[in-house]
Amino acid sequence: MNEMQRATWDGSLAVDIRSIDEQHQRLVAMINESQDHIQQGKPGGDLVYLIKKLFQYAEEHFATEEKYMADTTYPGAGAHMAEHAAFRRHVETFNLDLVLRTPHLANDILRYLWDWLRKHIAATDKKLGAHLAAKGVR
Ligand SMILES: [Fe+2]
Ligand SMILES: [Fe+2]
């Protein structure tokens, strides 16, 4: 199984809304933490715990963005929320019991996560960021 590229957050992913950028940075840090566990060959149970925390935090993050959308009557809310929902549906297909026994399978999960996250930030969250900035949110 090939190694995934390390997740990194830099200015190119900034949406320029502080709370959202901080949450994205934390998601990246959590992806890396999970990846470190795989590389260090740590027990699968710890890894599954970290991945569950990661999905939980993604939910909290989506809730933050969706609240911003509702509070500012964002016209793109429907399409944006549909992307969050598609992510959620995909995540439900991951078999964490398999990861328990074969930690390296988590590479695929983390790769999907990072791939989805950076594309979603670049295309979709940035539009939301611009809208929020225009509404005076910082
Ligand atoms: Fe989003
Ligand atoms: Fe986001």
Q: For the domain that residue 49 is a member of, what is the CATH number?
A: 1.20.120.50
Residue 85, CA distances (Å) to 61, 63, 65, 71 in order: 13, 12, 13, 20
Using the mean position of ligand 1's atoms as its centre, give its distance from the Cα of residue 101 in Å.
32
Give domain status of residue 3, yes or no.
no
User: Can you read off the two tokens belonging to residue 123?
Assistant: 């295309």
**Model-level pTM?**
0.94
Give domain status of residue 10, yes or no.
no
Give domain status of residue 130, yes or no.
yes
Give domain status of residue 19, yes or no.
no
Q: Number of folded domains in the chain?
A: 1
| Residues near ion ligand 1 (Cβ under 5 Å) | 65, 125
User: How many C-beta atoms lie closer than 10 Å to residue 129's C-beta?
Assistant: 20
Residue 14, CA distances (Å) to 18, 19, 40, 56, 134 in order: 9, 11, 30, 22, 16
Give domain status of residue 128, yes or no.
yes
Using the mean position of ligand 1's atoms as its centre, give its distance from the Cα of residue 30 in Å.
17
What residues make up the domain containing 92? 27-134
Give domain status of residue 22, yes or no.
no
- Starting from the CA of residue 84, give the closest ligand: 1
Give domain status of residue 97, yes or no.
yes
Query: What mean pLDDT is predicted for residues 73-97?
Result: 96
pLDDT digits (tens, 9 = 90+) for 17-53: 999 999 999 999 999 999 999 999 888 899 999 999 9
User: How large is the greatest C-alpha to C-alpha distance in the chain, in angstroms?
Assistant: 49
Using the mean position of ligand 1's atoms as its centre, give its distance from the Cα of residue 48 in Å.
24
- Residue 51 is predicted with a pLDDT of 96
Give domain status of residue 117, yes or no.
yes
